Structure formats: C-alpha cells, structure tokens
C-alpha cells in the first residue's frame, strides 16, 4: 500500500471555515480532492460500493476498533433492529409536528443500553427502524416490524413500504449506503469527533453529528436537488433556468465541494447504480441534461473555481428512482453515515485528547 497523499497546506485565516486545517489523524478514510479519489481503509469507493454489501463495508471500516460481542455485523444489525422496534411506540406518541429526522433523533435518545450489543451496533442498527417507522407515522400508517433475516437495505425498504423490494431496488439502496459510509473530516464527522473528544459518549456524538448533517450545505442538499430538477421540468429549460439562478446568485444544489476540485467520485458510483436500475427513466435523462447544462454554466460563471458534480446530485436521482420520498434523503444519509461517525468517535477517543481550538477575539476590550 502506498502512503496516503497528504492534502494540505496550513490555512491560518480564521474566517476560512477551517479549510486546509488538519484537525485529526485517521486510518478510516481519505479524500483526495485534487484527483477525485475517496479511499476507505485502503480501498477505493468504486471497489466497495456495488461490490460488497453495506454490512461488509461497515465491517471493513470498523476493523481494528475492538467491537466485541457480535458474531458478525449483519447479525448485530439485525438484533439491533429488533431491539429498536421496542422504542417505536414512543415515536407514535410524539408531537405530530416533529419531522422524520427529529423522530429519529428522539428514538436514538430513548434507545436503551443493550447488554449484548456494542453501542455502535445498537445505534447504527436502530436508525433504519426509526427512519421507516417515523415515515409511516408521519403518513398515518402503522410502523412495520423489522425482519432479522433480511439485510439492512432490503429490510429498510420493506419497513418503509410494506412490501419486499426488487433485488435491483435493494441493491441500489445498498450501493448508496456504502457510497456515503465515510468521507474524511466533513462537518458532521468533525462534530462527532469534537463531541466524542469530550467523552460525552457515542449516542450524543451521533445526535450532534445528525444536527450538523441536516443543513443544506451538507446533507440537506439532495431534497433541493430534486426540487431543482422538478422546477426545470424539461431538458430544453435547463440552460435558461440555470443561467437565471446563477444571475440571482443562487447556489446550484448538487454542485461544488469544499475538498473536491474535480468530480466527486461518489457521483459516478451512484450514476452507475442508476444505469443498473434502467436509465430509461425520463427523470434520469433529464438529470443528465441538467448536469451538463449546470457544469457548462458554472464554468462560465466561475472560471477560476472548479465546481463539479457532488454526491448529492445523483443521490437525489438514485433515491427518487428507487421510489424514496425526498423528505427521507437526509434521514437516509444519516442512516448510512452513522457507521462512519461511530468509527471516528471511537478512533478519536483512543487519543484521549479534548478538541478545543482557539478563536481570534475582535470584540471590545475593557477600558
């Protein structure tokens, strides 16, 4: 194995959103933004997503983290799904104003400790159950109990809809969950590591990371991507719609990235998954036209800033093609990313060091 390319020069500008600042040492994942390469524990994302199931990808990421007590990640997740279903009545009694995402956070908050399950397994295994139950509760439908004989992606779709998905649909969701499993020190992972460094525990770290993920500049983008595709409506409208949005100084959702200065490799992994589902879907063809128009317009509008397709663009199109409601895109992102967050928290805790940076004071001084 060659050494991971090490990315950055120190950026001492305190207003630069920590861009270029190295704030952790990790063996988990590396984002090479110049070359568009994402590595998870020595493997390129293209060699994991669509190649091995989500549970095995989690096992790959979690190796060396001393998670004892389960014979395999698959059985651990299945047991965790069953245990989480006991919490679902609480979600049914929650105020109707809570979103699916907030109900998932409530479920996680109420998740009891489990004698036989490591906490990371209990947390990650519970989220698909909370997501599906919260969605059904929000639609006045009864939650559906998990089936421990199924894999996470298949059971999640079944708990959402009440019917067993096709293997193509389950594979597409599984590919998505692997694709977004971990991604360097992104905002939510950094949040998880900061909370973990205070020794507040895994559950609090994941809850805080979920908060960070929910914003539109991070994991909240794919819903608006689909809104944009719907607003454009037809390939012939793409160029003028996009030019208008850029003239109004709006950001095109699904494009640009803090680290990638080229195409996000996850966009291609998801696009390949879409083609396996059958690219005859008119929305897929429309999305490809919009992508081309957006890239051309961004190149004209920002010639000095390489802005390319990010993971969220094809996340939106893939999840929509699988029949998943756009309100569930960010909840699903959290469901897959939780395993990455847990790994980072456990890794951070091995350092024993509190994360506590400094700020530059520009306020008034005492007389």
Catalytic residue IDs: 257, 312
H or E, element range at 32: strand 29-32
Do residues 321 and 224 make contact, with C-beta atoms less than 8 angstroms apart? Answer: no
Handedness of CA 139, 140, 142, 145 (dihedral sign): positive
Do residues 134 and 69 make contact, with C-beta atoms less than 8 angstroms apart? Answer: no
Our CB check for ligand COA shows the closer of 153 and 221 to be 221
Supply 91's token pair: 């979600």
Our CB check for ligand COA shows the closer of 143 and 256 to be 256
CA-nearest of 189, 177, 203 to 106 is: 203
CA-nearest of 219, 183, 236 to 344 is: 183
* Helix segments in 256-310, DSSP class H: 265-277, 282-301
242 binds ligand COA (CB under 6 A): no
Pick the binder of ligand COA from 174, 312, 320, 347 (CB under 6 A): 312
Q: Map residues 16-35 to x or -, x wherever contact with ligand COA holds by CB under 6 A.
A: -x------------------
311 binds ligand COA (CB under 6 A): yes
Whole-number minimum distance, CB 1 to ligand COA, in Å? Answer: 27
Q: Which range touches ligand COA (CB under 6 A), out of 107-115, 167-175, 310-318, 341-349?
A: 310-318
Supply 174's token pair: 């599984």
Supply 298's token pair: 């961004």
Our CB check for ligand COA shows the closer of 201 and 220 to be 220
126 binds ligand COA (CB under 6 A): no
Q: Which range touches ligand COA (CB under 6 A), out of 96-104, 129-137, 251-259, 271-279?
A: 251-259
Our CB check for ligand COA shows the closer of 226 and 253 to be 253
255 binds ligand COA (CB under 6 A): yes
Supply 121's token pair: 């397994």
Whole-number minimum distance, CB 300 to ligand COA, in Å? Answer: 12
Pick the binder of ligand COA from 80, 132, 242, 307 (CB under 6 A): 307
Strand partners, 44: 39
CB atoms < 10 A from the CB of 300, how many? 10
CA 214, CA 222: separation in Å to the nearest integer? 11
Q: Map residues 186-225 to x or -, x wherever contact with ligand COA holds by CB under 6 A.
A: -------------------------------x---x----
Q: Which range touches ligand COA (CB under 6 A), out of 95-103, 191-199, 200-208, 302-310?
A: 302-310
* HSE-up (13 A, CA, CB side) for residue 302: 16
Pick the binder of ligand COA from 91, 127, 253, 339 (CB under 6 A): 253
340 binds ligand COA (CB under 6 A): no
CA 354, CA 153: separation in Å to the nearest integer? 36
- The owner of tokens 């719609």 is 241
**Burial letters 151-170, b for 16+ CB under 10 A, else e:** bbbbbbbbbbbeeebeeebb
Our CB check for ligand COA shows the closer of 160 and 294 to be 294
Q: Which range touches ligand COA (CB under 6 A), out of 204-212, 300-308, 318-326, 356-364?
A: 300-308
Binding residues with ligand COA: total (CB under 6 A): 17
Our CB check for ligand COA shows the closer of 11 and 351 to be 11
174 binds ligand COA (CB under 6 A): no
- The owner of tokens 């020595």 is 42
- Contacts with ligand COA by CB under 6 A lie at 17, 217, 221, 251-258, 302, 305, 307, 310-312
């Amino acid at each position: 194995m060659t050494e991971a390319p090490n990315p950055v020069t120190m950026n001492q500008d305190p207003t630069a959103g920590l861009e270029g600042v190295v704030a952790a040492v990790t063996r988990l994942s590396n984002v090479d933004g110049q070359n568009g390469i994402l590595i998870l524990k020595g493997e390129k994302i293209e060699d994991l997503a669509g190649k091995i199931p989500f549970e095995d990808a989690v096992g790959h990421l979690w190796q060396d983290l001393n998670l004892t007590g389960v014979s395999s990640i698959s059985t651990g997740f299945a047991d965790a799904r069953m245990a989480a279903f006991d919490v679902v009545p609480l979600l049914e009694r929650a105020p109707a104003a809570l979103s699916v995402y907030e109900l998932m956070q409530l479920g996680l908050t109420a998740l009891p400790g489990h004698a036989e399950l490591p906490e990371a397994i209990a947390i990650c295994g519970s989220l698909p159950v909370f997501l599906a139950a919260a969605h059904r509760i929000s639609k006045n439908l009864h939650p559906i109990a998990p089936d421990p004989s199924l894999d996470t992606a298949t059971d999640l779709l079944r708990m959402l809809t009440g019917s067993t998905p096709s293997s193509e649909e389950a594979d597409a969701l599984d590919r998505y969950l692997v694709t977004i499993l971990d991604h360097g020190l992104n905002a939510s992972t950094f949040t998880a590591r900061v909370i973990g460094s205070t020794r507040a525990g895994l559950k609090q770290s994941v809850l805080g990371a979920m908060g960070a993920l929910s914003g539109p500049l991070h994991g909240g983008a794919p819903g608006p991507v689909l809104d944009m595709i719907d607003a454009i409506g037809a390939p012939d409208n793409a160029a003028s719609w996009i030019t208008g949005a850029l003239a109004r100084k709006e950001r095109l959702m699904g494009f640009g990235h803090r680290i990638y200065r080229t195409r996000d490799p996850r966009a291609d992994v998801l696009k390949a998954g879409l083609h396996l589902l059958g690219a005859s879907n008119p929305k897929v063809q429309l999305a490809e036209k919009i992508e081309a128009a957006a890239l051309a317009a961004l190149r004209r509008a920002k010639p000095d800033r390489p802005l390319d397709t990010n993971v969220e663009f094809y996340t939106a199109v893939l999840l929509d093609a699988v029949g998943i409601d756009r309100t569930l895109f960010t909840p699903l992102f959290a469901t897959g990313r939780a395993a990455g967050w847990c790994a980072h928290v456990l890794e951070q805790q091995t350092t024993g060091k509190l994360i506590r940076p400094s700020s530059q004071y520009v306020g008034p001084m005492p007389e």
